[in-house]
Amino acid sequence: MGQTVIPSPLTPVQAARLLVLRNYITYRSAWKLFLTGFLEPVFYLFSIGVGVGQLVEGFELNGEPISYAAFVAPGMLAASAFNGALMDSTYNVFFKLKYDKLYDQMLATPLTTRDVARGEIAWGLIRGSTYSAAFLLVMAAMGLISSWWAVLALPAAILIAFAFSAVCMGLTTYMKSFQDFDKITLAQLPLFLFSATFFPVTEFGDGALRWLVEATPLYRGVVLCRELTTGELSWASGVSVVYLLLMGLLGLAIVRRRLDLLLLK
């Protein structure tokens, strides 16, 4: 690695802007894929929240009665931010890194590995937050929001996406083949299904299992979104925010180090 540092003619913001623009242009031809991405959480909300919800009797959250749809909806908001971030930062990044050699090409320009990491994550966040905003509007239209705190559910969803994008992009740099994605599915699905998305965490009793669930990042995101849409904030909400923020920053540091190692050595 060269010892002399050539000053980049681009500021980090300019560099990120260029990368976002690049992704925007490539996605323009796949607009159907972009548009339909928003539908998935809405389908889940209608199926599980409304369809299955008609079978669920007397659901409670912290001792207060709540409709099952209002319980599931913030869980779907968090889960869709999570799923979207995971897709963008694993499959897409792996493909660009290994097959397209896209990052090699980018590094032949004044862009640095830091710019690549920040730019890719920024694009994922922009894409994800349009979905989250649309989903929140659907929730509001269906009368599933009971507090003005819900306005903060959008930044909360973006925070979830940031934490998972950064960490998963870091993990993707360790992957050797598409077979490794099974491990991602194996982690993704239990997180999606057991993070108090479809039923409260109290279902796991009071033992070690419940502690384990409460320590996972998606659970923190789900309860954060739920606290915001129902207006039941507590000190634990702050814990969730700090947890996700630290997770994202840690991931970003790993991505930078790994891209340096993979592309600049």
Residues linked to residue 64 through DSSP beta bridges, in sequence order: 61
Six token digits for residue 64: 């207060």
What part of residues 157-186 is at the interface with another protein (CB under 8 A)?
178-179, 182, 185-186
Asked if residue 193 binds another protein (CB under 8 A), the reply is yes
Asked if residue 199 binds another protein (CB under 8 A), the reply is yes
Asked if residue 246 binds another protein (CB under 8 A), the reply is no
Least distance to another protein, CB of residue 215, Å: 19
Q: Closer CB to another protein, residue 59 or residue 149?
A: 59
Least distance to another protein, CB of residue 36, Å: 4
Are the beta carbons of 240 and 221 closer than 8 angstroms? yes
| Helix spans in 108-234 (H) | 113-141, 153-172, 181-194, 208-214, 217-230
Contacts with another protein by CB under 8 A: the residue count is 33
What part of residues 79-138 is at the interface with another protein (CB under 8 A)?
none
Q: Rule CB under 8 A: choose which of 56, 66, 241, 250 binds another protein.
A: 56
Amino acid at 259: L
Asked if residue 151 binds another protein (CB under 8 A), the reply is no
Alpha-carbon distance of 141 to 221, in angstroms, equals 23
Are the beta carbons of 218 and 135 closer than 8 angstroms? no
Amino acid at 25: I
What part of residues 11-50 is at the interface with another protein (CB under 8 A)?
30, 32-33, 36-37, 39-40, 43-44, 46-48, 50
Give how far Cα 205 sits from Cα of 75, 202, 210, Å. Answer: 20, 5, 6
Least distance to another protein, CB of residue 37, Å: 7
Cβ contacts of residue 27 below 8 Å, gap of 6+?
A: 33, 34, 127
The site for another protein (CB under 8 A) is made up of 30, 32-33, 36-37, 39-40, 43-44, 46-48, 50-52, 54-57, 59, 68, 178-179, 182, 185-186, 189-190, 193-194, 198-199, 203
